[in-house]
Amino acid sequence: MGKSLLIQSNRYEEQIQEVMRALDFTWELEKLFSICLECNVPVQDRDKQKVKDRVPRNVLNEHDTFWQCPQCTKVFWQGSHYENTQKKLIMLGLGAST
């Protein structure tokens, strides 16, 4: 039987904190972006050269580390979404600054 948790807050930041507290859960920042959000499968490291036709030129110039989903072939990099999420987690007291 699964457990259930009644979320009290209407603010998503507090909702996250409630769930984290209830589960005694901590983020591992390096794992946060290791799964494809579409397919829920682990993404794989990709050589810059291998993804150069799949990402915008400015992204290619600014980043050296890329990942690709083996299922949907979507390419990921540590863009503004990554940085914003990292900042937000730290702001919520949920992330460790690296």
Q: Does 37 bind Zn ion (CB under 5 A)?
A: no
* Among 94, 93, 59, 95, residue whose Cα is nearest residue 77: 59
Stretch that binds Zn ion, among 5-13, 37-45, 54-62, 78-86 (CB under 5 A): 37-45
Dist. CA 93–CA 86, nearest whole Å? 11
Q: Does 47 bind Zn ion (CB under 5 A)?
A: no
Strand 66-68's sheet: what is its strand order?
A: 44-46, 66-68, 75-77
Q: Least separation, in Å, of the C-beta of 44 and Zn ion?
A: 11
Q: Does 38 bind Zn ion (CB under 5 A)?
A: yes
Contact residues: Zn ion, CB under 5 A: 36, 38-39, 69, 71-72
